[in-house]
Structure 1
Amino acid sequence: MRRAYQLLLASVMLLILAACSSDKPVHTPAATPEFTNQFSPVKAWSVSVGDGVGSYYSQLCPTVANGLVFAAARQGQLSAFNLKGQRVWQADVSDLPNAKQYIAEGSARLSGGLLAAYGMVYVGSENADLFAFDAKTGKLKWHQDMPGEVIAAPATGDDLLAVITNNGHLVTLDPQTGKIQWSITIDQPSLTLRGKAVPVISNGVVILGRSNGSVSFYSENNGQQLFNAQLAQSEGMTQLDRLVDVDSQPVLVGNDLYAISYNGSLMAVNLQNGQTSWKRSYSAYRDMALSGGELFLTDDSGHLIDLDHFTGSENWQQSTLSYRGVTAPAVAGNYVLVGDQEGYLYWISRDSGHFVAKIKVDSSGLYVAPVVTDNLIIVQTRSGRLIAFKRA
């Protein structure tokens, strides 16, 4: 029964996002935008990371730390590359001692991560595992059984990891040993999107987007709930209309918190007084990006939106990529970057919202936001290609 319920939730998520090419999409994707490139994107290098994530819903995203790029594949491969694309090490969950306990349906089902911190790389799995590998060598440092699927990356605080599982357990662990410090169970609606927001940890508080349309604040010491901000109320004629998940990681800048829900709103909250600074009607489940005074988001229709984060007023909206499975945005200098399900990577002017350049990266599609370094733009494709472009 539990397996059937998981499959039902996965099917609902795929229906909403039109992420599986074999399903008939709810909305017809817009045609690929045609325009003249103002510059030609230059590929720096390309490497393979196993078989990628395939057509599965996944939040498995590359990360960069201390001059290394870390990337993983759903089957269980984890690799580190230097910024020239040379492999430094590779590990495989299926090669670990007692590997059978980490494998289900022939796969490690890696899905939650990656996080590089404390000299380690952390990744979770749909098999309810959390792994920590040495960032320099790829050696397994520890493994911890979790109380549910880990489909979002852990968050790091003051000598603390916080992990939210798909069935609503918020768990904190010692980052060096993996020992669980405390675990609480959070109520969830009976039907939710298949996704979880990465927690945010600041000033002794774990901030968590929840499936009931709220953002809750918990004590880092013991998990006691301190405060709750409601972004959306569950209402509507159908169960899909009543989905209000906060699956985008909240953005914290000083005392200001920005959070967005699905079928709900985007809200700015001042944490000093607990008051709402402004609230706007947007719906999204992808992570947002903040740069300077601008907040960028990809809404549930695939529209890219630029907002003034002080007032919530809209600077521009780029709607040409409607229903193309657009990724979360990333900012690189004067450009906002997004990918789509057909495998195109786009450079968009952050001043005007106009297209500047595009390149077809991989027909398997892009599914997570590009990763930006000082000199590179790094994307991971569904087929497992890790590709770096030189920054324009």
Structure 2
Amino acid sequence: MARLRTIKQALLPGAVLVALSAGCSLQKPLPEPQVEEKIDVEVVRSSWPVGRLEAGLAFDPYYADGQIYLADGRGWVKSIEAEQASKRWLRKLDKPLSAGPKVAGEKVFVADRKGGFYALNREDGEPLWEAQLSSEILAEPRMTRGVVIARAGNGRLYGLDAESGERLWMFERSVPPLTLRQRSAPAVSGSSVVVGLEGGRLVALDVTDGSVRWEHTLSEPRGRTELERMRDIAAEPVIDRGAVYAVAYQGELAAVRMATGSSQWSRSVSSFSGFLLDNEEIYLAGTDGRVWSFDRRNGATAWRQEKLEGLSLTRPVAYGDYLVVGDNAGYVNWLRLRDGELMARTRLSSVPIERTPVVTSAEDGLVWVIDSRGRITALRVD
């Protein structure tokens, strides 16, 4: 568990789970759900393209146009061909990284632990420009209308010119005394940026100048201690069909009108890893390891899967008829989309799987999963 050296010390998500469980030991065995395997999952290939991925840093793999982009804490950024898992290019930056890669247009964006923000050429990894921000970047950047949005760990959000790295604007909100180390990536749509803040607030900004369009309280801090009052929006919001969907740790899942910031509906549920918005459903990985399916129109529960309770899960992804989530016991879990039945658990590693799996658009339909040591594995249902 992360040490509370000062009241400002940020907690890793897993550390918060331990702290919330009275008398829980760090050595307590993880749950091992007994599952009757109802589908055959094939390991297609496996390799070690990057180094160890520290918890709390934003190193989700990114897939685009047949390429998987990866980064690690040592400063390596890599592009590999998804079908052959062969290296396309490899770039070593001077400083330990904390976030990325994010592909937008012809650029790949990454950030380091001292506020350095880098744009690389997507074709060969060649550096294009570098900007210096105020502190460590703990969330994936986003880009819209030629503006790159980068979020620093000290509560500042920056708008940078995508071609030059020039700072266009800065937005700032104070950070509560105790927060998760994980930060929510901003969501973008057209000229709007929506960011989930510590303390349970959603803010919509104009991408051209960073001005506030609206603010919405997703979840009010409650409780006697700082730990009880934590309401961080640590998972990325999703903008779709005129609404923003967001979830808070120890708070609510809610739909908010994009035009006005007013509430459509909310449900009491906690998550720091996030959710998948797919057609008319929202699939959410809860803080307690339960997986939920909600109706996106009104928040009504469609199903709930409790067999993974006690595990820390990744954000879910859809793969054919299945919902795929990794867990901190080193398994990939396969749930049937229509009813949440747990169809299989595939053991890949002795270390946690904390990064969101990637589903490629290749004809053979692969799911790529990376563990905390940097080993990446391609899976498919036979």
Using the size of structure 2 for normalisation, the TM-score is: 0.92
Please state how far the C-alpha of 1:125 moved relative to its aligned partner: 2.1
- Matched with 1:314 is 301
CA deviation profile, 1:319-372 (whole Å, cap 9, x unmatched): 211222211111112111111111100110011111112211111220022111
Match for residue 337 of structure 1 among 324, 339, 359: 324
- Matched with 1:189 is 176
Paired residues of 1:155 and 1:199 also in contact (CA < 8 A): yes
Q: Structure 1 residue 67 and structure 2 residue 101: aligned? A: no
One-letter amino acid matched to 1:212:
G
Please state how far the C-alpha of 1:9 moved relative to its aligned partner: 2.2
Please state how far the C-alpha of 1:287 moved relative to its aligned partner: 2.2
Please state how far the C-alpha of 1:306 moved relative to its aligned partner: 0.6
Map 1:141-160; keep pairs closer than 5 Å. 141-160=128-147
Q: Which whole-Å CA distance do the structure 1 matches of 2:33 and 2:14 have between them?
A: 24
CA deviation profile, 1:243-288 (whole Å, cap 9, x unmatched): 0111111111120111111121111112245432111111111121
Map 1:111-190; keep pairs closer than 5 Å. 111-190=98-177
Q: Which whole-Å CA distance do the structure 1 matches of 2:130 and 2:4 have between them?
A: 28
Q: How many residues align?
A: 373
CA deviation profile, 1:214-266 (whole Å, cap 9, x unmatched): 10011112111120111111120211000011111111112011111112111
- Matched with 2:375 is 385
Task: Decide whether aligned partners of structure 1 residues 237 and 226 sit closer, same or farther in structure 2, where only a CA change above 3 A counts.
Answer: same
One-letter amino acid matched to 1:132:
A
**SS of aligned partner of 2:118:** strand
Q: Which whole-Å CA distance do the structure 2 matches of 1:10 and 1:86 have between them?
A: 37
CA deviation profile, 1:33-60 (whole Å, cap 9, x unmatched): 1222222211222121332215x32221
Paired residues of 2:77 and 2:101 also in contact (CA < 8 A): no
Q: Which whole-Å CA distance do the structure 1 matches of 2:251 and 2:323 have between them?
A: 24
CA deviation profile, 1:280-334 (whole Å, cap 9, x unmatched): 1111111210111110111111111110101100111112112222111111121
Q: Which whole-Å CA distance do the structure 2 matches of 1:143 and 1:332 have between them?
A: 36
Q: Which whole-Å CA distance do the structure 2 matches of 1:126 and 1:7 have between them?
A: 21
Please state how far the C-alpha of 1:386 moved relative to its aligned partner: 1.3
Paired residues of 1:29 and 1:323 also in contact (CA < 8 A): no
181-190 vs 306-315, which moves further: 181-190
**SS of aligned partner of 2:9:** helix
Match for residue 222 of structure 1 among 209, 223, 245: 209
Paired residues of 2:182 and 2:234 also in contact (CA < 8 A): yes
Q: Which whole-Å CA distance do the structure 1 matches of 2:158 and 2:47 have between them?
A: 34
- Matched with 1:34 is 34
One-letter amino acid matched to 1:74:
G
Q: Structure 1 residue 293 and structure 2 residue 244: aligned? A: no
- Matched with 1:79 is 78
Map 1:256-267; keep pairs closer than 5 Å. 256-267=243-254
Q: Which whole-Å CA distance do the structure 2 matches of 1:183 and 1:252 have between them?
A: 22
Task: Decide whether aligned partners of structure 1 residues 363 and 66 sit closer, same or farther in structure 2, where only a CA change above 3 A counts.
Answer: same
Please state how far the C-alpha of 1:380 moved relative to its aligned partner: 0.8
Match for residue 246 of structure 1 among 233, 236, 240: 233
Paired residues of 1:112 and 1:151 also in contact (CA < 8 A): yes
Paired residues of 1:30 and 1:321 also in contact (CA < 8 A): no
**SS of aligned partner of 1:9:** coil
Match for residue 235 of structure 1 among 222, 230, 247: 222
- Matched with 2:44 is 44
Please state how far the C-alpha of 1:88 moved relative to its aligned partner: 0.8
Q: Which whole-Å CA distance do the structure 1 matches of 2:27 and 2:289 have between them?
A: 11
**SS of aligned partner of 1:42:** strand
Q: Structure 1 residue 376 and structure 2 residue 375: aligned? A: no
Identical-residue share of aligned pairs (%): 25
315-324 vs 273-282, which moves further: 273-282
Please state how far the C-alpha of 1:26 moved relative to its aligned partner: 7.3
Map 1:17-28; keep pairs closer than 5 Å. 17-18=17-18, 25=25
- Matched with 2:347 is 360
One-letter amino acid matched to 1:383:
R
Q: Structure 1 residue 283 and structure 2 residue 273: aligned? A: no
Provide the aligned C-alpha RMSD in A: 2.2
One-letter amino acid matched to 2:16:
I
Paired residues of 1:334 and 1:349 also in contact (CA < 8 A): yes
Paired residues of 1:301 and 1:322 also in contact (CA < 8 A): yes
Task: Decide whether aligned partners of structure 1 residues 113 and 346 sit closer, same or farther in structure 2, where only a CA change above 3 A counts.
Answer: same
Paired residues of 1:306 and 1:314 also in contact (CA < 8 A): yes
Q: Which whole-Å CA distance do the structure 1 matches of 2:231 and 2:27 have between them?
A: 20
Paired residues of 1:118 and 1:175 also in contact (CA < 8 A): no
CA deviation profile, 1:142-164 (whole Å, cap 9, x unmatched): 22111111011001111111011
- Matched with 1:105 is none
263-272 vs 8-17, which moves further: 8-17
Using the size of structure 1 for normalisation, the TM-score is: 0.90
Q: Which whole-Å CA distance do the structure 1 matches of 2:309 and 2:230 have between them?
A: 21
**SS of aligned partner of 1:123:** strand
Paired residues of 1:246 and 1:259 also in contact (CA < 8 A): yes
CA deviation profile, 1:149-181 (whole Å, cap 9, x unmatched): 101100111111101111011101112222211
Q: Which whole-Å CA distance do the structure 2 matches of 1:31 and 1:262 have between them?
A: 22
Task: Decide whether aligned partners of structure 1 residues 31 and 112 sit closer, same or farther in structure 2, where only a CA change above 3 A counts.
Answer: same
Task: Decide whether aligned partners of structure 1 residues 197 and 303 sit closer, same or farther in structure 2, where only a CA change above 3 A counts.
Answer: same
